[in-house]
C-alpha cells in the first residue's frame, strides 16, 4: 500500500529534463508476439510535444529464418548418396521519422508518428549434388541476389510510464513499402564422365509493393528516458 501511494504521487510523464529515450520493439507477426526483427529505437524530444526518432532493426520483419540446411537422399528410403542445399539470408531495416505527442497525463503519453522506411537484404543458395529440391548426381550451383526497400509509415501510439522514466508502449499503424530485387545470378556446374561444364545465367529481376502493418508500425515497446 505504501508503494502504491508513492507511485501514485510521482510524475512519470514527459519532461525536458530527460529529452532522450531508448527502447526495444517487440513485433506482431499476425498471430503471435515474437522477436521477428530485433529492433532498437532512439528518440530525442525537441520539446514536450515533438520528438525525432531513428529506428534500426535486423531481419525482414516477417519471421523468415536467416539460414536453412536441407539434405536429400539418392533413394526414397533415405539410403544411398546424399546432396545438400544451403540457404542464407541477411536483411536490415531502418526508419527515420518524427512524433507529435499530445498533452499527457502523469502516466499516459499518446502520440502520432510519421516515418520513412528503408532497408536492404541479401540471399544465397549453395547446392551440392542436388538441384535445390532433390538429389542430383554431379550437379552443384550457386545462386545470389540482393534486395532494397523504401517506403513510408504513419500511425499512432501511446507510452505508459510504469515508474519514473521507465515506460511500456503500444504502436499501431499503416505502412506502404516498395521492394526491389536485383538480378539473380545462378552459376550451375554439371560434372559427368570426369568433365565439368559451368553455365551462368542472370535474370529474375523483380519488384513488389506491400501495404499493411509490419515490424516498423505494429509493435509493443519497452523503453527508458534519460
Higher pLDDT, 59 or 149: 149
pTM (two decimals) = 0.74
**Can you give the pLDDT at residue 193?**
87
pLDDT at 173 (0 to 100): 84
Tell me the CATH class for 2-225. mainly beta
Q: Are 27 and 218 in contact (CB under 8 A)?
A: yes
CA pair distance 109, 101, nearest whole angstrom: 7
Q: What is the average pLDDT across 121-141?
A: 95
**Residue 5 pLDDT exceeds 50:** no
What residues does 68 pair with on adjacent strands? 87
CA 168, 57, 64, 155: dihedral to nearest 10 degrees? 50
Q: What is the pLDDT of residue 204?
A: 73
CA pair distance 92, 151, nearest whole angstrom: 14
Residue 185: per-residue pLDDT:
92
pLDDT of residue 7: 43
Strands 20-28 vs 219-225: parallel, antiparallel or unpaired: antiparallel
Amino acid at each position: 500500500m505504501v508503494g502504491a501511494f508513492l507511485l501514485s504521487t510521482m510524475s512519470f510523464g514527459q519532461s525536458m529534463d530527460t529529452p532522450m529515450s531508448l527502447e526495444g520493439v517487440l513485433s506482431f507477426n499476425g498471430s503471435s508476439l515474437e522477436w521477428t526483427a530485433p529492433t532498437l529505437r532512439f528518440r530525442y524530444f525537441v520539446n514536450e510535444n515533438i520528438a525525432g526518432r531513428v529506428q534500426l532493426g535486423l531481419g525482414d520483419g516477417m519471421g523468415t529464418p536467416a539460414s536453412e540446411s536441407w539434405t536429400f537422399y539418392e533413394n526414397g528410403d533415405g539410403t544411398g548418396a546424399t546432396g545438400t542445399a544451403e540457404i542464407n539470408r541477411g536483411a536490415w531495416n531502418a526508419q527515420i521519422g518524427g512524433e507529435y505527442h499530445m498533452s499527457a497525463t502523469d502516466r499516459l503519453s499518446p502520440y502520432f508518428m510519421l516515418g520513412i522506411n528503408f532497408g536492404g537484404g541479401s540471399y544465397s543458395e549453395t547446392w551440392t549434388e542436388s538441384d535445390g529440391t532433390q538429389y542430383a548426381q554431379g550437379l552443384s550451383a550457386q545462386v545470389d541476389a540482393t534486395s532494397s526497400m523504401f517506403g513510408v509509415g504513419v500511425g499512432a501510439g501511446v507510452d505508459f510510464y510504469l515508474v519514473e522514466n521507465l515506460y511500456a508502449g503500444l504502436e499501431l499503424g499503416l505502412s506502404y513499402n516498395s521492394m526491389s530485387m536485383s538480378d539473380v545470378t545462378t552459376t550451375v556446374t554439371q560434372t559427368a564422365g570426369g568433365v565439368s561444364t559451368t553455365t551462368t545465367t542472370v535474370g529474375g529481376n523483380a519488384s513488389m509493393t506491400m501495404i499493411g502493418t509490419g515490424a516498423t508500425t505494429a509493435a509493443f515497446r519497452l523503453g527508458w528516458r534519460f
